Amino acid sequence: MRAVGVVEASCEAIFGLVMGMDVTRYEWDCSFQYGSLVEEVDGHTAILYHRLQLNWCSMLVWPRDLCYVRYWRRNDDGSYVVLFRSTEHQNCGSQPGFVRAFIESGGFKIFPLKSLNGRPRSQVQHLMQIDLRGWGMNYLPSFQYHSLLQMLNCVAGLREYFSQTDEVHTVPRIPVMHAMVNAISMKKDQKLQEPDTKTKQTDSKILDMVDEESEDDDDYQVPEADLEEEPTKSDSDAKSSDPIDLSWFSGIIRQDANEKSRNCWAVPDNKIFKVRSKNFPHDKSKVPAGKYLMELVAVDWFKDTKRMDHVARRKGCAAQVAAEKGMFTFLVNIQIPGSSHYSLVLYFVSSSLKKGSLLQRFADGDDDFRNSRLKLIPSVPKGSWIVRQSVGSTPCLLGKAVDCSYLRGPEYLEVDVDIGSSAVANGVLGLVFGVVTTLVVDMAFLIQANTYDELPEQLLGAARLSHIEPSAAVNPELDNIS
């Protein structure tokens, strides 16, 4: 269920209140009894313990508590996203007298509206899909419904709270919880204690991810003379008119454009992605993308005990097949960390690499140039609300968000994207990877246009990945390659 309301306050003030677990929360959240910090994973991700105050047949129904991961981010438009997902933690075990509820999907989305009579306004969306569990769910079905309504009433509580005060609110601290496994049940009216330790500072990678893509005019080198509309660059600048025979290539993941197919890839419609227009330096306008400059020919899905670098050296891969036929390949190796390491490898092929083109300058440029230009546009056409909000659809300069390594071969350029190098990206991955089999994910890649003659932007290529199965990944056996 979802609740939506307009609150007369800035996004920052509302965000600060939503993040707090101190006594102030009693003033706007009628379902809150107690909250505490179990572990701060990084500046954007934390594990929390939360006791619910559900005033419904308290003589018959045991109280509920939660242990969940909370992840937040700030978008370029000034909006905030706060996401919840239940988890398990060694220091947050079951508590005597409580039933552990389970958050399937939940969170807040706070984005700014135009001010009214000089007062800032924001729209607040609160979604909660929760299984309260316990015997009451079978014998008292209305318990779930009424409890969920009580939790969603916090949107109305936020509106009333800010309508009565003009104070500036800062982000409250969350009390630290010690050894929940051995903790005794706390009194309902116990006051919360603030932590003695300071919140960890977010590293520079996190700040880069939050800022993502600068839209400032300073990014562009516009000629001083009056600009006249120039003909749109032909897609043939980088992509030959001769079609590429896909039968030459093969990968671990099969190609299948059927919407109901699983564990497959397809090429999404280029027009669903927005890129910078010819007039972007003047009016920030974006337009649907034109034809892809390169063609996605294969997708590999690897698994190993360690991170897999330079996968283009694997014999028989699409990059080597393309090189034998005199074609150029751009490989994106998305490295996913964990107890088992995964690599999703996308092979984009062009019949030739035109000298002097932006793609050629990117392929032969230095790493600083590449990091400042390679851009990803993500999207989740099919998935839960929490996943779609965590991934978003804002373009991201990959080299500023995560560590990227570039490997230039005779007829290819490979970029190894280390997701584990960024706390923010790793936090999003934690929300996504566990439910990857239920998702349809789009990823488009392009080289950012920073000068007028590079506009409009053109997509290198894009991939749509449908319901990918981790069990389908294979070992590439790179250690056996000299």
Kindly tell me if the per-residue pLDDT of 466 is higher than 90: yes
Write out the H or E segment, with its range, that includes residue 350.
strand 341-350
Instruction: Specify the 3-state DSSP secondary structure of 312.
Output: helix
Token couple for 469: 């199965």
pLDDT tens by residue, 238-252: 444 567 888 899 999
pLDDT for res 213: 42
pLDDT of residue 22: 86
What residue type is 473 in one-letter code? Answer: A
| Cβ-proximal residues to 366 (8 Å cutoff; 6+ apart), any chain | none
Query: Which residue(s) pair with 330 in the sheet?
Result: 348, 413
Using a CB cutoff of 8 Å and minimum separation of 24, what contacts does 285-292 make? 287/456, 289/444, 289/446, 289/457, 289/458, 289/459, 290/232, 290/235, 290/456, 290/458, 290/459, 291/235, 291/239, 292/235, 292/239, 292/267, 292/459, 292/460, 292/461, 292/462
Q: By the 8 A CB rule, do 285 and 452 touch?
A: no
Can you give the pLDDT at residue 210? 30
Q: Tell me the pTM.
A: 0.70
- Give tens-digit pLDDT for 340-382: 999 999 999 998 888 899 999 999 999 999 999 999 999 999 9
CA distance 237 to 293: 8
pLDDT tens sequence across 299-345? 999 999 999 999 999 989 999 999 999 999 999 999 999 889 999 99
What's the rounded Cα separation, in Å, for the pair 298 and 319?
9
- Our CA angle for 453, 455, 458, nearest 5°, is 130
Task: Give the whole-angstrom CA distance, residue 56 versus residue 152.
Answer: 15
The pLDDT, as a whole number, for residue 166 is 58
Range 35-45 average pLDDT? 86
The answer to which of 1-5, 202-206, 388-392, 419-423 has the lowest mean pLDDT is: 202-206
